[in-house]
Amino acid sequence: MKYSFLVFLGAASYGILSTIAKLSYDAGFSAADATSGQMLIGVIMLWGIVLFSERKTKTINATKSEAINLMLMGIPVALTSIFYYQSVQLLPASIAILLLFQFTWIGILFEAISKKQMPSKAKIISVVILLIGTVLASGILTTGLEEFSTKGIIYGLLASVAYALFIFFNGKTTIKISSAKKTSWMLTGATLLTVIVYPPIFLFNGAISEGFLVYGIPLALFGAVIPPFLFAVGIPKIGVGLSSIINATELPVAVLASSLVLGEMVSSIQWTGVSVILFAMIIPSVVESKIKKRKLAVVSK
């Protein structure tokens, strides 16, 4: 439960991003500023934390090949941000997060293919309920998809695939270094790709003096520092499938934030969908917890 809670907190942090990004756009900054700023500020923060926290203790360092592998694992992180912020720019924040949210069933599909076995009944039931909740929460039953940008929808779906890959690779890593170092190397790889796609012109075009850091620092904290670190600790312990389901926390957090902060209209049907999603998210954790208790009871006998 402890590791599930860490993944929960990481997902909740990601849920705040779309609202912060929308506020930065309203302030005159671009998706390129948000993406490159999040990664560059985030990687500086993370390496600063590593240097400060481990300065007086001897810790295991990554080998050259391990560092390269971790940096490659950062590519899906970069792609998620690149695609997601483009989606947020073209769609309401609540819809962009719904599209990103499709990583739940994509992640379980990746895990099933990797293990060459069907997901548990609890996970399958959970995903079905999640998809029903997604349809309700999206609002497409009343507005229809034609109301939204096709390009924005494509960007959102690409972000969901990239995010599912991030969770999948995160759950497979067995490199024995601290979670802070592991996250720092991953974010270094993500930052390198991001600055190639979006050079950090915010450093030179006066954006900082115009207040960009008011948005850039929260974007870095909630998008590049807190979630990857918590995921690096929690996902390897609870598995990719369960992590994908718990990450559904992003959706209600994002919808709530977009409603309270941005004033986006959220109907009663959409709130019902959010409630359904939260219910679906709990099912696998409860079932797996009961199974473990039964196994422990059998062993103790």
Calpha distance 282→286 (Å, rounded): 6
Q: 111-134: per-residue pLDDT in tens?
A: 788 878 787 777 788 778 878 887
* CA dist., res. 120 & res. 106, Å (int): 15
Higher-pLDDT residue of 46, 105: 46
d(C-alpha 103, C-alpha 97), whole Å: 11
Q: What is the pLDDT of residue 142?
A: 65
Quote the pTM value.
Answer: 0.75
Classified as helix, coil or strand, 219 is helix
DSSP conformational letter for 119: P
Rounded to 5 degrees, what are φ and ψ at 252?
A: -60, -35
Q: What whole-number percentage of the chain has pLDDT above 70?
A: 84
Q: Output the pLDDT for position 300.
A: 63
DSSP string of 13-64, one letter each residue: HHHHHHHHHHHHHHTT--HHHHHHHHHHHHHHHHHHHHHHHTTTS--PPPPH
pLDDT at 241: 66
Residues 42 and 201: beta-carbon distance below 8 Å: no
Residue 186: pLDDT band with limits 50, 70, 90: confident
Q: Which residue type sits at 231?
A: F
CA 99 to each of CA 150, 157, 164: distance values in angstroms, whole numbers, following the listed order: 12, 6, 12
The pLDDT of residue 296 is above 70? no
Least confident range from 41-45, 50-54, 85-89: namely 50-54
Digit-coded pLDDT (tens) for 141-159? 666 656 678 888 899 899 9
pLDDT confidence band for 264 (50 / 70 / 90): confident
Q: What is the mean pLDDT of residues 29-56?
A: 85
